[in-house]
A and B are shown apart, each in its own frame.
Chain A
Amino acid sequence: MYEKHAMMTGEIIENRRVAPDHFEMTIRLPRSFPSPSPGQFVMIRRVQPEEPLLARPLSVFGFQRHKDNTNLQLLYRVIGRGTKSLSCSKPGDELSVLGPLGRGFTIPIGIKQVIFIAGGVGVAPLAFLLHSGLLSSGTGQEIQKNFYLGAQRAELLAGLDRLEGFCELGICTDDGSRGYHGPVTGLFESGTKLLKHNIGGYDPEETMVYACGPTAMIRAMGHLLNENPIRCQVSLEERMACGLGACLGCAVAVRGESGKREYRRVCKDGPVFDLREIVFASPTGK
């Protein structure tokens, strides 16, 4: 039958600035709101204002089911009109929430080592995955979790509080203000004192990489894993109008069955894709 999703009105409980331009929002929703799985997203729109017109897609950062309601957490960065409008919302304001949507992360049987690669607010779906039952249930085998988190500078390392103590953590910043000085893919490639492993130290048979971050980071992951057989699932971002697979706005280029370039919908066929499926446009945009 249909995937379980619904459109409901929620109430903002908290909309807290956690870093410059970064906000963590908690929305109270009816008890009947379907439980999201890690990697899924919601379409969020303020109920009252006419503008902006379209809802904005945001990954689920956290979700709790209570006796009478559910709480949904989102971590977002203000980048345009939609997120700006969200950041101005106050506790008590109503939001329309459509979701949970899309195909989330999967964890194949036999995985003993999980690696998270997050850039900026890309931490949101990965933190949700880290805390989900997905990584604790199943084989009964203990899964080793290594988290590599990068941001432009130290004060923009949002979501850290959700990670510390729950995984082996490697931190980096573009300006070197905290942790490794360089991109998160560089940290993953070379390893750190804390995370002794570098990319070569992981057994491809037992390892799964989960990645989410800016396009440049995803592209760098593509290059990094070109020569290395480690499997990698990436959560992609693209502008979208409906979130339901109808508008075909959120296209991502993939290698089709015949090897030809085809487009998939980030909202419906993703947002989580196998990194090796993705066809990257060259940096010049050609």
Chain B
Amino acid sequence: MDEQASFNTPRLAVAIGRLELKNPVMTASGTFGYGEEYAPFIDLNRLGAVVVKGLSLERRAGNPPPRIMETPAGMLNAVGLQNIGVRAFIAEKLPFLRQYDVPVIANIFGETVDEYRHVAQILNGAAGIHGIEINISCPNVKKGGIAFGACPEAAAEVIRNVRSETDLPLIVKLTPNVTDIREVAQAAEAGGADALSLINTLTGMSVDIELRRPHLANITGGLSGPAIRPIALRMVWQVVQAVKIPVIGIGGIVTASDALEFLIVGARAIEIGTANFIRPAATMEILDGIKEYLICHRIGNIAELIGSLVTNPDTENEGEIG
């Protein structure tokens, strides 16, 4: 009977280092505002964690419009990290999130190593912050961001500096716009990251053929949505095998089955991004779907599913069809 009961109410809790989540469904930075925008549609208490819009030391105006363009099975964005600045976030936005029983992860960004460190220092003292996601992977700003994420040494330096300012769990968000994501992943691990999240957007472009102008004022933008999911899944699978710290899967997850793919290849949790724009309650639908899958497959604890990928022992190299 006890066994039966556990199959009907599977255990969904996962640990991202010292960060305990009641389930693996998180929101991706930049797609969920500061939480308020989605409160009319979902119970924020049911989320594994909320990752807020990227924060810099001072407010940033962001890029000129047009900033987004829909592309096949996805969208390009070049928002340029528009945000109100870390202090205004703590004063004006964090009190709202503090009302909820949900871990809040602050995504941080800097143009310099010092800026990253300074933002982390300010967040370290803020009540209601449970972790920091370090964005070293934004493709849409001129300075910082991806410059740190594309170079293993620079990535490690940012993380060491942030680590020196805070004991909060550190998640490092990686860019796919590199030759081998495992190198930066390992550097981030060595630099003191508690977990990795991947992937950020892939740099892309789209042109209006009548005007012969780029659709985005920034010319290039970051591609997200289902179009990037197979790439994201492959990279998560590669990184899971290359590091010991937990990996959070991100990239085009719009349904529960998409999320399950990431968990099966070894992601400890997942972040939902573009799907929030399409269906404001996407996170809840995905969470319910994961639970239903576990019940259907008589899996009592989600830990049994994570990393349970079955591979053909004859196939050693990824990408080979046979």
Contacts and interface: CB of A to CB of B under 8 A. Distances in A.
Nearest to A252: B65
Interface in A231-286: 238-242, 244-253, 261-263, 268, 281, 285
B33 A244 contact: yes
A82 B37 contact: no
Interface string B52-90: 010000000111111111101111010100100000000
Given A54-B75, A244-B280, A246-B33, A82 B70 contact: yes
A47 to B, nearest CB: 10
A27 interface: no
B35 to A, nearest CB: 9
B68 A241 contact: yes
B149 interface: no
A2 B39 contact: yes
Q: Chain B, interface size: which category?
A: 35 or more
B67 A248 contact: yes
Secondary structure call for the B interface: loop
A252 to B, nearest CB: 7
B100 interface: no
Contacts of A250: 65, 67-68
Given A54-B70, A54-B75, A246 B37 contact: yes
Contacts of A261: 61
Contact of A242 (B63, B72, B277): B277
Interface of B: 30-33, 37-41, 53, 61-70, 72-75, 77, 79, 82, 213, 217, 225-226, 274, 276-281
30 contacts: A2-B40, A7-B280, A7-B281, A45-B278, A53-B73, A54-B70, A54-B278, A81-B70, A82-B70, A238-B65, A239-B66, A241-B68, A241-B274, A242-B276, A242-B277, A242-B280, A244-B33, A244-B37, A247-B30, A247-B31, A247-B68, A248-B30, A251-B64, A251-B65, A251-B82, A252-B65, A263-B62, A268-B37, A285-B213, A285-B217
Interface of A: 2-3, 5-7, 45, 50-55, 81-82, 96, 98, 238-242, 244-253, 261-263, 268, 281, 285
